[in-house]
Structure 1
Amino acid sequence: MSARNLDNSEDVSERSALKEEMNTKVKEQKIIVDELSNLKKNKKVYIQQRNSNIFFLADRNQTLSSCRKDLDYMKKELQDL
Structure 2
Amino acid sequence: MSSKNNQRTEPEAQEERAAKEELNKKVSYQKYFVYLFLQRVYTQQPNSNIFFLADKGETLSACKKDLDNMRKEYQDN
Percent identity between matched residues is 52
Q: Which runs of 5+ in 1 are unaligned?
A: none
1:33 alignment counterpart: 34
2:18 alignment counterpart: 17
Would you identify which runs of 4 or more consecutive aligned residues in structure 1 move more than 3 Å? none
Q: With the length of structure 2 as denominator, give the TM-score of the two structures.
A: 0.78
Q: Which runs of 5+ in 2 are unaligned?
A: none
**Could you report, residue by residue, the CA deviation over 1:41-79 in whole angstroms, capped at 9, with x for unpaired residues?**
xx5x22113332232331111101110000000000000
Counterpart residue identity of residue 59, structure 2: T
CA RMSD in angstroms comes to 1.9
Aligned pair 1:76/2:75, yes or no? no
**Could you report, residue by residue, the CA deviation over 1:23-56 in whole angstroms, capped at 9, with x for unpaired residues?**
011011111112222x2xxx5x221133322323
Q: Displacement, 1:10?
A: 1.0
Instruction: State the distance in 1 between where 2:59 and 2:9 align.
Output: 41
1:49 alignment counterpart: 45
Q: With the length of structure 1 as denominator, give the TM-score of the two structures.
A: 0.75
> Number of aligned pairs?
71
Q: Which moved more, 1:58-67 or 1:7-16?
A: 7-16
Secondary structure (helix, strand or coil) at the match of 1:51 reads: coil
Secondary structure (helix, strand or coil) at the match of 1:52 reads: coil
